[in-house]
Amino acid sequence: MTELLDFNPRQHITPAVRRKAMGMVNSLESGQKVCKRLDVKGYLKIDIGPFWRMISKDGGHRWFLMNHETYNREIRK
């Protein structure tokens, strides 16, 4: 089972963004290709919109929902 977590609880994630993220996770579980593998570290990434990203550092078991600024910091670590 795939788990969707908030990367930082202080980020204000709207219900619409959370619904879209859950829809992407459900699509991924049903076998659709919705994620991309990053070349740098091998992380998986799903774009939720212009300001939100989901990233998985463990091959897609746990997904962290974060804004694009936090995402940019995380992939550079």
pLDDT digits (tens, 9 = 90+) for 55-72: 999 999 999 999 999 999
pTM of the complete model: 0.87
In angstroms, rounded to a whole number, what is the distance separating the alpha carbons of residues 10 and 1?
26
Given this model, what pLDDT does residue 1 score? 66
- Among residues 68, 9, 75, which one has the least CA distance to residue 43? 75
* Residue-level pLDDT, tens digit, the chain, 77 residues: 678 888 887 888 999 999 999 999 999 999 999 999 999 789 999 999 999 999 999 999 999 999 999 999 999 98
Considering the four listed CATH numbers 3.40.50, 3.40.390, 3.30.2310, 3.30.470, the one that applies to the domain covering 3-76 is: 3.30.2310
Given this model, what pLDDT does residue 77 score? 82
A 10 A CB-CB count for 36 gives: 11
